[in-house]
Chains A and B, each alone.
Chain A
Amino acid sequence: MTVSTDRSSGRLEARGRPGPALSFRRAGLARRLALGAFLTFGLVVNVGPILWVVLSGFKTLPEVKALPIQFLPGEWQWANYAEIFRVTPLGRGFLNTVLISGGITLGVLITSLIAGYGLAALRFPGRRQVLYLVLATMLIPFFLQAIPLFVVVSKLGWVNTYQAQMVPFLVSAFGIFLIRQYVLTIPRELYDAARIDGCSELRILLEVVLPLAKPAVSALAIITFLDSWDQLFWPMLVARLPELYPLPLAVFNIQGQFSRNDHLLMAATALAMIPAILLYLGLQKRVIEGVVLSGIKG
């Protein structure tokens, strides 16, 4: 753990980030103990269930249900992994999810940045009403939109296509709201100054706001990706062919009405979490990248 940690935080410190008021190293013993306990507790509570999923994926079905509880598999069932790829199109599911969730994420980032910036930084009559309208779209249970929306998608001949899984979600009220709230925290003087210099709004957005809003944009990217891949109901309606299953449908393809192949389900889940974890690892530094440094001081 230490090696990779040193590397990543070293990079942070090399940038001269002044660090929070108290860093771990400088803290007193009691404080370090408290933080250490906190971290250990978090590790157990948060990683425990995930680790359990991974371990269960290596067990036989009776071992998963065994009583008393059995922590390690008697024999590591690597065959489970071969089995899941055989019974469900998991590989194709990876590809589809990268395409679908990736596409949705890209679209949401673009549309949210523009509209979120517009709502936060531009003054125009009715902007509060526009905000409320945007928020209102988050308030209706999805499956009630789903049927009318499905009728439209179906009329367009989009059932069993990628666009049916992507297009309806390219604008996200959540994203617009998130960016708007974040841009509100950026001091107005920064883009007002650019405006007086005669910059176009688009340039202000790209060159002033975007660098400052990186933490929010990265957070939005992670959340959008994860949310779009956690959907079951809509893909179930529009993706009826296994070739078009996104990852969760491919995973749940393993579960039947009465048969609960929990060991295979867990193995598939363990694999399915990998893209999400990679994405998070790739973006996590951006999430915390200091606005303070790059924006005001820089």
Chain B
Amino acid sequence: MTPPRTWLTRREFLRLSALSGGSALLGACGPRIITPSGPAASPTAPPAPPTAPAQISEKTLRLTVHWSATELESFSGLVDEWNQGPGKTNGVTVNVERIRAAELNEAEWTAAYVADYVAGTPEDIYHMSGAVFPELVRRGFFAPPPQEIQDYIRNNYVQALVDYVTYDGVVWGYPTELQASVLWINTAPFQALTLDPDPAKAPRSWDELRELARALTEYSGQQKVKAGYIWQNNFPEPHFVNRVIMHAAEGEPFIDMATGKNNLNSAIGYRIMEHWHRLAIENDATTAGMTDFWEAYANDLGRMIELDAWFAWYNVVALGGQELLDQTIVTLQPTSSGENHRSSARGYFFTVSAGSQGPDEAWEFLRFMNEKPETRVVRWMTQTLGFLPSHLEIGMPEWYTPNMRETFAKALEVAEPMPFLPGMAEAYAIVVKAEDDVAFGLKEPQQAADDGAAELQALIDQKLAG
């Protein structure tokens, strides 16, 4: 039913549509929407914003990050070091802009980046998320770094992260931090329950995890008031990341990038769904339906969670203080057998837009911010935000406990790369839907896995075909 793709058909179509009143306006406005830079073509220089300084020799670059005001403030201090130093000498000022991130919405960022891009006024420097990167990089959204920067990144950063930002043989940016997913356990209630808070006795297998989750779950009358395991509804990303980790630990990739097939409903996929089913339904040991995950850990509503390294600062120290950190132990995520543990390696990275007004200056700026000896960004991300370092020569945050150091060091050795999948945000949403179906008792585990697999496969096929 698709008309053959000929010029004539399209012209007929256009003529038809010209009959409608609106398309006259489209004629006036459409071409302007159409013209801006294709990825390969050099973009038209955007008109200078009216507020830009009037000096001609000066160049102002726009850098976009998603941090809140407080984080942004301290980051701006780093950028000022450039603006007052080499930036001043070279006449290159970097303006920090913020993109809203309150709802962790990748789609919103993409919308803004796409809008800027098609308007011919792209930002110059992005702090790029792995969720958005695959979609954009294959469309030529970014300017490749000079070879020596790529070499520097290859030689100085955690290997898994270098793989993460490599596409088509190009290393696209400076990784800013490392996210490795582990199991966080609040041991505060252990004494009352006569459990041993020794990290060496932390659960290693799914059975042990479920057993502990059950033991940590408490009721008041009919109502569940404490849950052993924190179910991250409303936050799809970890479901996907944990899937990747779990499948790898069981011996197969979650998404086989060679064939493009997903394993959500493989034999292993079924087993994982069974595991969730037992944990959430039979043991009734999750926070599903009880609390949003954000406050669950710090408020002692839920006592275990499988999540990334950022959790340490934002949900443990910032919300629960030093005391909660001292009570927290971390371990690698349990596996079905209790052997062959895996973790993940992801993170954000700084990169430069293909439509930048000054890609060379932008990369020069990023080199100043990221490279030795100051290694400004990674140092700041580690010390101020408590992330794991992406740079090999920077240590973990000083306040990490010995147990955290040990576990994260092991996690790095067994880090599983994320699959390269455009439309990643949607893949997250499909996985959380399938797992929510099980956790809320809407579907049998196998049914949920089959439905999710079909949907995910449709997305992958569409994306890999396009």
A–B contact, 8 Å CB criterion (strictly below): yes
Across the interface, do A61 and B33 meet the contact criterion of CB distance under 8 Å?
no
Across the interface, do A160 and B66 meet the contact criterion of CB distance under 8 Å?
no
Nearest Cβ in chain B — how far from A34, in angstroms?
A: 34
Nearest Cβ in chain A — how far from B40, in angstroms?
A: 20
User: In residues 102-145 of chain B, which contact A (Cβ within 8 Å)?
Assistant: 102, 104, 108, 111-112, 114-116, 118-121
Set of chain A residues within 8 Å of B72, measured between Cβ atoms: 253
Q: How far is the CA of A88 from the CA of B72 in the complex (A)?
A: 10
Across the interface, do A151 and B101 meet the contact criterion of CB distance under 8 Å?
no
Across the interface, do A157 and B70 meet the contact criterion of CB distance under 8 Å?
no
Across the interface, do B111 and A151 meet the contact criterion of CB distance under 8 Å?
no
Across the interface, do A259 and B299 meet the contact criterion of CB distance under 8 Å?
no
Nearest Cβ in chain A — how far from B248, in angstroms?
A: 25
Across the interface, do A258 and B310 meet the contact criterion of CB distance under 8 Å?
yes
What 0/1 readout, one digit per residue, does chain B (212-239) give for beta carbons within 8 Å of chain A? Answer: 0000000000000000000000000000
Stretch at the interface among A73-81, A232-240, A280-288: A232-240
Across the interface, do B310 and A237 meet the contact criterion of CB distance under 8 Å?
no
Set of chain A residues within 8 Å of B119, measured between Cβ atoms: 150-151, 153-155, 159
User: In residues 252-271 of chain A, which contact B (Cβ within 8 Å)?
Assistant: 252-261
Q: How far is the CA of A150 from the CA of B315 in the complex (A)?
A: 37
Across the interface, do B319 and A257 meet the contact criterion of CB distance under 8 Å?
no
B73 adjacent to chain A (CB < 8 Å):
yes
Contact A252-B102, Cβ < 8 Å, known A154-B121, A159-B121, A258-B310: yes
Nearest Cβ in chain A — how far from B67, in angstroms?
A: 5
Across the interface, do A65 and B68 meet the contact criterion of CB distance under 8 Å?
no
Q: How large is the interface on B (under 10, 10 to 19, 20 to 34, 35 or more residues)?
A: 35 or more
Across the interface, do B298 and A257 meet the contact criterion of CB distance under 8 Å?
no
What 0/1 readout, one digit per residue, does chain B (35-68) give for beta carbons within 8 Å of chain A? Answer: 0100000000011111100000000001010111
Nearest Cβ in chain A — how far from B316, in angstroms?
A: 11
Across the interface, do A154 and B100 meet the contact criterion of CB distance under 8 Å?
no
Across the interface, do A240 and B62 meet the contact criterion of CB distance under 8 Å?
yes
A45 adjacent to chain B (CB < 8 Å):
no
Across the interface, do B100 and A252 meet the contact criterion of CB distance under 8 Å?
yes
Set of chain B residues within 8 Å of A212, measured between Cβ atoms: none
A96 adjacent to chain B (CB < 8 Å):
no
Set of chain B residues within 8 Å of A88, measured between Cβ atoms: 69
What 0/1 readout, one digit per residue, does chain A (66-90) give for beta carbons within 8 Å of chain B? Answer: 0100000000000000000001100
B314 adjacent to chain A (CB < 8 Å):
yes
Across the interface, do A256 and B68 meet the contact criterion of CB distance under 8 Å?
yes
Ranked 5 nearest A-B pairs via Cβ: A256-B68, A154-B119, A87-B69, A258-B314, A157-B47
What are 20 A-B contacts defined by CB distance under 8 Å? A87-B69, A88-B69, A147-B115, A151-B36, A151-B115, A151-B118, A151-B119, A153-B119, A154-B119, A154-B120, A155-B47, A159-B119, A236-B99, A236-B100, A240-B62, A253-B68, A253-B98, A255-B68, A256-B70, A260-B294
Point out residues on B near A: beta carbons under 8 Å.
Answer: 29, 32-33, 36, 46-51, 62, 64, 66-73, 95, 97-102, 104, 108, 111-112, 114-116, 118-121, 294-295, 298-301, 310, 313-315, 318-319, 321
- With A157-B49, A258-B314 already in contact, 12 other A-B pairs whose C-beta atoms are closer than 8 Å: A61-B318, A61-B319, A67-B300, A87-B69, A152-B29, A154-B46, A160-B50, A241-B95, A256-B66, A256-B102, A258-B310, A259-B314
